[in-house]
Amino acid sequence: MKPLVIFELANNHMGKISHAKTIIKRYYNLSKKFRNKIDFAIKFQYRDSETFIHSKYLNSDDKQILRFKSTFFTRNQWKEIINFSKKKFKLICTPFDEISVKNVVKDKFDFLKIASCSATDWPLVEYIAKNCKNKKIICSLGGLHENEISNVISFFSKKILNIRFLYCVAKYPTEMKDLNLLYFKKLRERYGECISGISLHEVPEGYLSGAIGLSLGATIFEKHIGVEKGKNIKLNKYSADEKQTEKWLTYLEKSIDLLGSVFDREKNVLDEKTQISKFKRGIYVKKDNEIKANSNFTIDNLSFQFPALKNQLTANEFSKFSDFKSKVNLKSGNEILRKQIVIKNTRSQISIIRHKIREIVKKSNVVVPKNSRLEISHHYGLKNFYKHGLSMITIVNQDYCKKYLILIHNQSHPAQYHKIKQETFVVIFGKIYFKTIHKKKIYEKIMLPGDISTIPKGVIHEFKAISKNGAVIEEISSNHKKTDSYYLDNKITNNKNRKSIISFY
């Protein structure tokens, strides 16, 4: 998806239709060279000319009141501007009062934008939530403390599904040292992708804000723009002219190229492998060694040296997770070719299992701590893992213990019991068939998310994931000892290689 740049016209049209059209036309022409990689919108502001300003202050010399009065357009004038713009840009409008909200809906703007000053204007936002349920909405969060931001996001998330929020710095203008773009990152980490962009009001010479914002995950950018004309029409300190905007867009475009995509990175790997293969070490039979046909060999029989010839086994392929067996006699000092050996690699199977477990965890929304290890139990060997097995992440194991138990669809964990540990299972994702045996009595039940079952020590228990997307169980127990798991099937007990451990991330 292309990033969206919103050109904020604000009141820079100076109340003149001709000047508004000049700005729109010029910035449309400017945007053409960037449209392959960037989407563009133009944003207007609606204030009802008859009711927005209190009658008592209509003749005030307040700077903002004078500014608003001098830049009001009639409804017919707005229609002319909208018709002029709609084939050039996506259209966005910020209403500052309830009548203007009605007009935004009536005029069929692509987006309704809520200004920072209105984000906690509860009469207005209540009105928007009630009357714009099907409208795409963007809301700025300038000037709000964390608890206010939380209140705004909570309010809208319950009422409007299609809403995006912008980290906003409501200082006019904002010096570069005051942008604090890391706060955007903090908001995104807390609230997720609904925090979609930035509106910064930076000084026009702040050319890097878009590029840096994009690298932090922003996809919507609001930029105040305008055109100076003669002595009477000058830009304010936070509106950029065409040359400044072009330079800002150029940096944004370059950052799009630099960031690329995950998909394109994957495409590059094959080329990268070809390049780095030229620098790998090959595997040779060590001098004064000879490897006979149909025999296993280890690192003691080998040397790792440059160069690696075509089709030669490389040092990168030698791993403790692999078993190497020769098909033919391998002589001292000779290179070892792949066709001369058989490799049995368990690492790739473990990696595939890890990927599947990650997918289940992702769907479950379970948060797995950093540096976690994934313990994979393949009770009857890896080839039978998808039928009988379990994957486990130990969160803490002290006097108390907490684990996540993860099962793939139709995977069962065989019957076992503990002599020391008492545990409680809480299903947090998926559906579980759960069976216990106590004093020769069998108890069976289906457990759903939120269901709890406590298993006293000595009680035999087994379980199976019967939901399509697998299942996750939270296990809370007393301290777990490796020697305190007793399986009813001696084949499992006698299998000394029934566990593999790998990093989760």
Of 212, 218, 221, 219, the closest CA to residue 245 belongs to 221
Provide the pLDDT for residue 345: 66
Per-position DSSP letters for 216-233, written without gaps between them: TT--EEEEEB---BTTTB
388: nearest Cα among 451, 475, 278, 465:
465
| Residue 317 to residue 139: CA distance in whole angstroms | 53
Q: Residue ranges per domain, the chain?
A: 4-260, 276-340, 348-503
* Residue 410 and residue 388 in contact, taking contact as beta carbons nearer than 8 Å: no
Helix 98-106 / helix 122-131 crossing angle, nearest 10 deg: 30
Of the candidates 18, 24, 31, 68, which has an alpha carbon nearest to the alpha carbon of residue 46?
68
User: What are the phi and psi torsion angles at 198 (to 5°)?
Assistant: -135, 145
CA distance 223 to 227: 13
Main-chain dihedrals φ then ψ at residue 344, nearest 5 degrees: -110, 110
Helix/strand/coil for 100:
helix
pLDDT of residue 176: 93
pLDDT at 320: 66
**Which CATH number does the domain 4-260 belong to among 3.20.20.70, 3.40.640.10, 3.90.550.10, 3.40.50.300?**
3.20.20.70
Omega into 449 within 30° of 0, i.e. cis? no
Report whether 5 contacts 92 (CB < 8 A): no
Are 424 and 490 contacting, i.e. CB atoms less than 8 angstroms apart? no
Q: What integer pLDDT is reported at residue 414 of this predicted model?
A: 95
What is the structure's pLDDT at 274? Answer: 86
CATH number of 276-340: 3.90.1210.10
* CA angle, residues 259, 262, 266, in degrees to nearest 5: 120
Strands (E), 211-332: 220-224, 282-285, 302-305, 322-326
d(CA 391, CA 58): 71
Residue 86 has a pLDDT of 95
Find the Cα–Cα–Cα–Cα dihedral 87, 90, 94, 100, rounded to 10°: 50
pLDDT in tens for each of the 505 residues of the chain?
899 999 999 999 999 999 999 999 999 999 999 999 999 999 999 999 999 999 999 999 999 999 999 999 999 999 999 999 999 999 999 999 999 999 999 999 999 999 999 999 999 999 999 999 889 999 999 999 999 999 999 999 888 779 999 999 999 999 999 999 999 999 999 999 999 999 999 999 999 999 999 999 999 999 999 999 988 889 999 999 999 999 999 999 999 999 998 888 888 888 898 899 899 999 999 998 899 999 888 888 999 999 999 999 999 888 766 788 999 999 999 999 999 998 876 667 888 999 999 999 999 999 999 889 999 999 999 889 999 999 999 999 999 999 999 999 999 999 999 999 999 999 999 999 999 999 989 999 999 999 999 999 999 999 999 999 999 999 999 999 989 999 999 999 998 888 999 899 8
Bridge partners, 197 (sequence order): 166, 220
Domain 348-503 of CATH type 3.40.50.2300:
no
Write out the two tokens for 326: 């020769």
Handedness of CA 465, 466, 472, 474 (dihedral sign): negative
Q: How confident is the model at residue 344, as a pLDDT?
A: 76
Cis peptide before 456 (omega within 30 of 0): no
> Does this model's pTM top 0.95?
no
